[in-house]
Amino acid sequence: GENVEQHPSTLSVQEGDSAVIKCTYSDSASNYFPWYKQELGKRPQLIIDIRSNVGEKKDQRIAVTLNKTAKHFSLHITETQPEDSAVYFCAASFTGGGNKLTFGTGTQLKVEL
């Protein structure tokens, strides 16, 4: 089955700096890579996703890059703000993989003033 590794487990940045979270996956057939944000005590919510037919996707201050050859993808947050503080999860799946989404173990991001 799919295995997703996520690093780092905790990340502390100063407000206005950039944050990068990296994930690697094991199944070369994976073709869908979403990122979820979970604020304390809340439910996970999708913030951005990328499919294997593109290498990069941006949405305002967040972007995701995908390197299929190396089997890794990354979340980039620029100009971080205190409200970006949360746990971020990457995930991977592929259409023919029994409809299963495999999540990474999460990154606790803290944006300090």
Partner 1 sequence: NAGVTQTPKFQVLKTGQSMTLQCAQDMNHEYMSWYRQDPGMGLRLIHYSVGAGITDQGEVPNGYNVSRSTTEDFPLRLLSAAPSQTSVYFCASSRDRVVDEQFFGPGTRLTVL
6 touches partner 1 (CB under 8 A): yes
CB of 33 closer than 8 Å to CB of 24: no
Q: Which is nearer to partner 1, 78 or 97 (CB)?
A: 97
Q: In the set 13, 20, 63, 101, which binds partner 1 (CB under 8 A)?
A: 101
Q: How far apart are the first and last CA of the chain?
A: 41
Name the one residue in this structure whose structure tokens are 């996970």: 44
If one asks whether residue 72 binds partner 1 (CB under 8 A), the answer comes out as: no
Site string for partner 1, 35-64 (x = CB under 8 A): -x-----xxxxx--x-x-------------
Alpha-carbon distance of 5 to 62, in angstroms, equals 20
Q: How many CA atoms, within 13 angstroms, populate the side-chain half-sphere of residue 76? A: 13
Query: Cβ(65)–Cβ(77) under 8 Å?
Result: no
Query: Exactly one of 18, 26, 67, 95 binds partner 1 (CB under 8 A); which one?
Result: 95
What residues line the site for partner 1 (CB under 8 A)? Answer: 1, 6, 9, 31-32, 34, 36, 42-46, 49, 51, 89, 91, 93-95, 98-106
